[in-house]
Amino acid sequence: MTENKPVILTADDKSVELAIHSGTIGPSCVDISKLYKETGHFTYDPGFMSTASCRSAITYIDGDAGVLMYRGYPIEQLAKHSNFLEVSYLLMNGELPSANQYSTFEHEVTHHTMMHEAFRTFLYGFRHDAHPMAMMTGMLGSLAAFYHGDLDLEDPEQRRLAAIRLLAKVPTIAAACHRYSIGWPIRYPRNNIEYVDRFLHMMFEVPSEPLMLSPVAAKALDLLFILHADHEQNASTSTVRLVGSTGANPYACVAAGVAALWGPAHGGANEAVLQMLNEIGRPENVGSAIDKAKDKNSGFRLMGFGHRVYKNFDPRAKIIREMCHQVLAELGVNDPLLEVAMRLEEAALKDEYFIARKLYPNVDFYSGIIYKALNIPAEMFTVMFAIARTAGWVSHWLEQQNDPENKIGRPRQLYTGAAARDYTPIAGR
């Protein structure tokens, strides 16, 4: 980090020198941490449009140039050459693993995939039609109860182990939620197969016959996991960090991240995209969907379009779009929704409303069509996102726990409520 000439801010009759910090790349940051103490003013930035909440060395995004890098490696290269487990190691540890480091990591993750049997009782307490994201939030939160007493957050090895456990157990929990909702017996994780294959087995294998797993499906899912693994200080990761800043149990932090991810403005968009494409139904209806999205009174947005950071294109969407065509062709799936999606994308990209606001397809626009081709039900789409993003959440949590600047997250506010007034007894109101 380099330091620059400070800026001088004058408020009322007080001037304050504010340091400017520069990172490796990307915009520099004006350090306002002393502003209140020295001037009595807060800053105001709803939605954190201009506010960096922490220093981080994990992921870099240049939204104008459509660049995404994990630990300096461009997402396109990782998508082409790596796999999800290697990417998870990279995010957590900062460097790509050697062959030995990779096999140790894989062994560790593989041998932490089992759940305590009491989880079944907990799972069976949900209604059969519970949304899997609600179940995921509850189940992950409950992990805190299983690993609390013996967890010393001051011990780096115990923190690392908690991160490995999360990465290992989230797919087991996700598959269990799915199987419970369709009334299938829960499958135990198999240790003789790889991470993504293991997850697909836990999802789809039935006791009565072996599962013939398509390598195309496993490869596609692995790639989707890589693309969703991290995205710097997004809403769910910032939630994990905010909860983590209080010294809370890491499983509780990740459960909070899952809850934040569920919203349709964030990870819930992938499920919403499929719902929207189904509602549009046919390419002829694309024009009226575009008109509705432009009408502010309709309350309707094009799901899978727009991003807070990407204002040119989302590099993940570019990779997924290409993959979508390949996967459907290789699996022999002819999904009419792909035609609807392509026509919608084409029409929006030519439309002045979307051009002026720099709204492009995001990572979720095509991912649902791929999940659908892999027989993953729509209500599980955001759960898929959660499995992948667990790698990012635990990496940020680990980074935060090591950060000497870590303080409890406590934003301030611009108070707009009533000024001081006297209590009136009920009879006099």
Q: Which residues contact 13 (CB under 8 A, 6 or more apart)?
A: none
Q: Which residues contact 327 (CB under 8 A, 6 or more apart)?
A: 216, 217, 220, 333, 370, 373, 374
Which residue is it, tokens 């870590």?
A: 406
Per-residue CA distances from 403 to 57, 245, 343 (Å): 11, 10, 47
Q: Which residues of 184-204 are buried (b: 16+ CB within 10 A; e: fewer)?
A: bebbebeeeeebbbbbbbbbb
Contact residue for ligand CMC among 140, 162, 167, 302 (CB under 6 A): 302
368 binding ligand CMC? (CB under 6 A) = no
User: Looking at 178, 222, 364, 396, which residue is catalytic?
Assistant: 364
- In the residue annotation, 112 being an active-site residue is answered as no
User: How far is Cα of residue 117 from the mean position of the Cα atoms in its chain?
Assistant: 28
Which string of x and - marks every residue 239-278 that binds ligand CMC (by CB under 6 A)? Answer: --------------------------xxx-x---------
Contact residue for ligand CMC among 71, 169, 301, 321 (CB under 6 A): 301
201 binding ligand CMC? (CB under 6 A) = no
CA atoms within 13 A on the CB side of 266: 19
Q: Is the CB of 187 or the CB of 228 nearer to ligand CMC?
A: 228
293 binding ligand CMC? (CB under 6 A) = yes
Report how far residue 55's alpha carbon sits from residue 254's, in angstroms, rounded to the nearest whole number.
20
User: Looking at 131, 178, 201, 307, which residue is catalytic?
Assistant: 307
Compute the C-alpha angle 401/405/410, nearest 5°.
90
Q: Is the CB of 60 or the CB of 204 nearer to ligand CMC?
A: 60
Report how far residue 316's alpha carbon sits from residue 314's, in angstroms, rounded to the nearest whole number.
5
Q: Is the CB of 189 or the CB of 392 nearer to ligand CMC?
A: 392
162 binding ligand CMC? (CB under 6 A) = no
Determine which helix (DSSP H) or strand (DSSP E) holds 269, and give its type and residue range.
helix 269-280
341 binding ligand CMC? (CB under 6 A) = no
Q: Is the CB of 252 or the CB of 303 nearer to ligand CMC?
A: 303
In the complex, least distance from residue 308 CB atom to ligand CMC, rounded to whole angstroms = 4
Q: Which range touches ligand CMC (CB under 6 A), out of 72-80, 118-126, 167-175, 303-311?
A: 303-311
In the complex, least distance from residue 317 CB atom to ligand CMC, rounded to whole angstroms = 9
Q: In what order do the strands lie in the sheet with 73-74?
A: 59-62, 67-70, 73-74
Task: Give the catalytic positions in this structure.
Answer: 307, 364
Per CB under 6 A, residues contacting ligand CMC are 231, 234, 265-267, 269, 293, 301-308, 357, 359, 362-364
